[in-house]
Amino acid sequence: MDRLLTLTVACAPYDRVRALFDGRVTIPGLRLVQVPIHSEQSFPRAFTRAEFDVTELSLSSHLLQVSRGEAAYAAIPAFVSRAFRHGCIYLRAGAGIAGPKDLEGRRVGIPEYQMTLGLWLRGILADDHGVDVNGIAWRTAGTNAAGRRERLPLELPPGMDVQPIAGTLNEALLAGEIDAILSPTEPAAFAAGDPRVTRLFPDPRAAAIAYHRRTGFHPIMHLIGIRQDILARDPALAPRLTAAFAEAKRLALADIEADLRHSSLTQMLPFHAEEWAATKALLGPDPWTYGIAANRAELEAICRWSHAQHLSRRLLAVEEVFAEGVQDS
């Protein structure tokens, strides 16, 4: 009997990957060993040590490494994390920021300059609101816990002001050392209802819906990578894994639909049916699209922003981002 090739797969335990690990989706000749960890733990291990065979990757950091010729992983277009981020811009009340343009020339905190959330929000601020994002003084630190650092070194031009600070962004905002924060995690003061911290977009859901209707984008945050040395031995792994992740996502969508047909729901969301219907009305029957063709305009925008924000060394073509053989997946 042929031995199975065993691959470690580091990924957060999303509903859209569950079927890969509970046995409903199998790949002939492969055994997948799940490493169910969130991106805060997997990204540093993947980008600095290439520890996993298959792993969830930050899209922004992956672009940075591809542009430098340093990517240990080749990506497949399984976009396991997507998120609208209009609600992730927090302001110090009284800082005189009434709209996006008022961020120009300010000191703005972010956990890491290179993180995909920052890439997206700077792109939105620049394209939709005409903000000179490269003229902002960026200050990096953990949102509520000190010690966060850039996972990969930056190569910024003279004049770009990106500096780490001591302590946390939450503390710096309250002390008046910064004027705003871009973060996927709520600053502790905002979470506690402190009136000194507000949002740039008071109704982030409405802002995100309007953005999607204008652009068609559902922001891609993370994708899946296969270590280059493994792929070199078996290039067919890329399309096979792409198909497996797509099938797992299809089953996750089917699980939601099946759950809604029961008289009692497994989810603790009282308006789950209404929210799911609203999501499909906005994003379509498959609100979590995989593949390059369906996401090309979005991927081209991300590549453009990465170069314009001095993360990628050069403007990447979308095809450079992914492994060979997955372009038509």
pLDDT digits (tens, 9 = 90+) for 153-189: 999 999 999 999 999 999 999 999 999 999 999 999 9
**pLDDT of res. 3:** 77
3-class secondary structure, 51: coil
Tokens of 261: 């047909």
Q: What is the pLDDT of residue 327?
A: 81
This prediction has a pTM of 0.96
Instruction: Compute the CA torsion angle 305, 309, 313, 319 (nearest 10 deg).
Output: -10
- Helix ranges (H only) for 108-166 are 116-129
Residues 281-298 have pLDDT tens digits of: 999 999 999 999 999 999
Residue type, 163: Q
**Strand segments (E) across 100-199:** 107-110, 137-140, 162-164, 180-182, 197-199
Phi, psi angles (nearest 5°) of residue 269 = -120, 110
Q: Backbone phi, then psi, for 199, in 5-degree steps?
A: -105, 150
pLDDT at residue 2, as a whole number: 57
Identify the pLDDT of residue 1. Answer: 40
Q: Which residues contact 116 (CB under 8 A, 6 or more apart)?
A: 58, 59, 60, 61, 220, 221, 222
Q: Which domains does the chain have, with CATH numbers?
A: 5-83+219-321 (3.40.190.10), 86-215 (3.40.190.10)
In this prediction, residue 197 carries a pLDDT of 98
Output the pLDDT for position 4.
86
Q: Which residues of the chain have pLDDT under 50?
A: 1
